[in-house]
A and B are shown apart, each in its own frame.
Chain A
Amino acid sequence: MSIDRRKFLKLAGLAGVGLGLSTSDLLFKGDAVASSSHSKAMAKERLAMVIDMRKFRTEEDYKRVIDACHSIHNVPTLIAEKNNPKNEVKWIWKDSYEHTFPDQSDDFHPEALKEKSFLLLCNHCDNPPCVRVCPTKATFKREDGLVIQDPHRCIGCRFCMAGCPYGSRSFNWVDPRLYLEKTDPAYPTRTMGVVEKCTFCVERLAKGLGPACAEQSNGGMVFGNLSDPNSEVRKLLASNYAIRRKPSLGTLPSVFYIIGGDENAG
């Protein structure tokens, strides 16, 4: 039996339609999986940080927590000073009210609050866009809610930086080792060409400690399990008004800010 050209083309066309249908099926299914990747029902554990801005008053209050993080993770604070502020390595850093809460900047919040610096770190979102866009699965979300970046798999494509609406990631344009005054040999450095972020001190959590910044914050930063109604973070959130960054984006940040009222003045 031989097949003529006409018949062949008809068959090929049909096969093409079939292929199209099956791939669109795959695509839509894939989409559904991706968009439900954050937990609808509350997970058993969801680690979160509540930052009480009323407790951050002097430069020293900020510096202490930033140094606590940078010194144990070999984060080169000097890059911003000596190289280029744009090359800042961002684990925990400060920014203005307008940059932190752009959707709220026309609110009638107390003036003292608007003049304050805010402490910023990775929000460890419940619905993290950075995880979804990472082509190598270097960035992933753990069961306890931590968003972790595996530096061994990072190819430096910077999709995560484009995906993160909070600027919580930075790319190493220069060798960070050149800007380290002191090193902590218990933790690795990083290289040029990879992205970095805050880890909520995953290596300390494994030892039963809390994040280093919280430890040095004199109660200004409280860390705990959002899924446990008796946790300190839940109690703080139940008794204080707290806001999150850019809530309308649906990323569900795990970092909360108690902004307070007049207490911020002075």
Chain B
Amino acid sequence: MYNGGKIIAGLIIFFGLVTFPFYSNFGKTANKVTPKLDTPVINQLEKKECVKPKEYMRTEHMKVLDEWRDEVVREGKRDKMIVGGIEIEKSLQNGCLKCHSNVKTFCDVCHTSSGVKPYCWDCHFIKEEGLL
């Protein structure tokens, strides 16, 4: 074999580069981000619960939002609901954000770390943090 040493060294460097994204991310899984649940309203809740179980909300909250949006805007179903002992509207601003009034340290920390940028904030906003 001609130039065997160079080829093997080349191969090692090549594999090193190709697998770089994997080992550089090792141990840094998405679970590292901790959305803060410490808001005035959540702290006062009788029962610390979300509109659906936490595990479901973590991965499927956008589905809940989608359903609410269609029910409210298109079907006119605006009936209120009781969650954690308080009455909330089926609404992003008057529902989710009533409890999660810390968009920047809740919604945004997850979204930034997973590279999603919901366009909802172009219109929806919250008093505590102003136009987002």
- Residues of A bordering B, CB below 8 Å: 140, 142, 148, 150-152, 177, 183, 185-191, 202-203, 206
Residues of chain B having any CB pair with chain A under 8 Å: 69, 73-74, 76, 78, 92-94, 122-127, 131
Name the residue of chain A whose CB is nearest to the CB of B127: A185
What residues of chain B lie closer than 8 Å to A186, measured between beta carbons?
A: 93-94
- State A15–B78 Cα separation when bound (angstroms): 51
Q: Within the complex, what minimum Cβ distance (angstroms) separates A40 from chain B?
A: 23
Q: Which residues of A contact B122 (CB under 8 A)?
A: 191
A106 to B119, CA, bound (A): 50
Which residues of A sit under 8 angstroms from B125, Cβ to Cβ? Answer: 183, 185, 188-189
13 A-B pairs, CB-CB below 8 angstroms?
A140-B74, A142-B76, A148-B73, A148-B74, A185-B125, A188-B92, A188-B123, A188-B124, A188-B125, A189-B123, A189-B131, A191-B122, A202-B76
Q: How far is the CB of B23 from chain A (nearest CB, A)?
A: 41
Besides A150-B73, A189-B131, 10 more A-B contacts (Cβ < 8 Å) are A148-B73, A177-B131, A185-B125, A185-B127, A186-B94, A188-B124, A189-B123, A191-B123, A202-B76, A206-B78
Question: Please, how many angstroms separate the alpha-carbon atoms of A202 and B73 in the complex?
Answer: 9
Alpha-carbon distance between A99 and B74 when the two chains are bound, in angstroms: 32
CB distance from A254 to the nearest CB of B (A): 17
Across the interface, A190 reaches (CB within 8 A) one of B69, B123, B127, namely: B123
- Residues of A contacting B69 in the complex (Cβ-Cβ under 8 angstroms): 152
For residue A190, which residues in chain B have a CB less than 8 angstroms away from its CB? 123
Q: Identify the closest chain A residue to B78 (Cβ).
A: A206
